[in-house]
Amino acid sequence: MAEGSHLSAAQRELFERARRLGHETYAPLAREGEPGRVNRALLRALGEEGLLAHVLPAEGEGSAVELCLLREGLAHGCTEAETALALQGLGGYPILRRARPPVRDVWIPRLAAGEAVAAFALSEPDAGSDAAALSLAAEPDGDGFRLTGTKTWISNAPEANVYTVFARTTEGAGSRGVTAFAVPRESDGLSGEALHLLAPHPIGRLEFDGVVVGPEQMLGELDHGFAVAMETLDLFRPSVGAFAVGMAQAALDAAVAHVTRRRAFGRTLAELQGVSHQLADVATRVQAARLLVHHAATAYDGGVRPVRREAAMAKLFATETAQQAVDVAVQVHGARALEHGHLLEHLYREVRAPRIYEGASEVQREIIARELFKETA
């Protein structure tokens, strides 16, 4: 799976450990959780095994390669554990990197231990992929601000303990007029409700009714919140591809096991060229996706900034490949894969969202095209 001469023995060991924990430890905890709600027992288990500390290290920044290996390994055995780890990292990373020491020291130990839940509150009803169009208002209030507006499709909302919130501090300034804040759930004027999507993830809408934030809650500098968001997405976008690769590999493994056992027309399905060649194509695409993901992550860890083109290629190709891999696996399984509770029924629901969040496939193509033309110019 994550094998390769470019990986160290420690990295391969981390991957195998994540995959084993996903299958043996986290999958049972996921089954005990309530669909559409934060699974706090699962999150604490991720903290107890030290996996969250890889994403939110007490010192320094996280490794993109390690994050990708963790997400692929966990996704192979337990997509719920993968998602819990990724969302905790996404919400907590801006606090780790840009919070003032009093705020960072309060939240990072709790987040890394899985004792508190973080969320990344960027999307709005009219600002999804176009993050520069944010309209949640941050109006001056003494030496702080009052936040008024709506955030939606926010993972871990409304149950998270702390939100990384991006708000408009300067009107008409586009991406240059956004500021990030760490906002605790108990803040007066903050409310929310759960949303119900195709895959039963914890996700919801948040309403800010004059929520007061002080200057100590600012993440980074005034009007530089867009840079905070992009810094976080630069790290996490390639790892969305790793999540997709983990699901694609799980689907491929299930398909290969099935076609070698299932007989039709006097022979196994694996002996039918129409079946075996489809799986050969899927296997090739999965490995190519994995290498694109690792290439982008290695560039990030090597100090390349931004990794815009590499990350876009990795996310685009890996998520599109995962969709194809799961679809082919369902097709060769037949009706049994559509039964509620089947691995592929679960993956079929899970695999759709990554082609949309953290930049839809169309946005990734636009990024790649712009980088191409920039190089030509």
The pLDDT, as a whole number, for residue 161 is 98
The pLDDT, as a whole number, for residue 2 is 54
The SS3 call for residue 54 is helix
The pLDDT, as a whole number, for residue 132 is 75
Q: What stretches in the chain show pLDDT beneath 50?
A: none
End-to-end Cα separation, the chain, in angstroms = 39
The pLDDT, as a whole number, for residue 81 is 98
The pLDDT, as a whole number, for residue 5 is 65
**What pTM was estimated for this model as a whole?**
0.95
Could you say which of 358, 362, 366, 375 is catalytic? 358
Residue-wise pLDDT for 181-209, tens only, equals: 999 999 999 999 999 998 889 999 999 99
* Rg for the chain, CA atoms, rounded: 21
Domains of the chain in start order, with CATH, are 9-112 (1.10.540.10), 118-223 (2.40.110.10), 227-376 (1.20.140.10)
Instruction: Classify residue 63 by its DSSP letter.
Output: P
User: Residue 304 corresponds to which tokens in the numbers above?
Assistant: 């390349």
Instruction: For residue 371, indicate whether it is catalytic.
Output: no
Cβ proximity of 238 and 169 under 8 Å? no
User: Residue 303 corresponds to which tokens in the numbers above?
Assistant: 């100090």
User: Residue 59 corresponds to which tokens in the numbers above?
Assistant: 């010192």
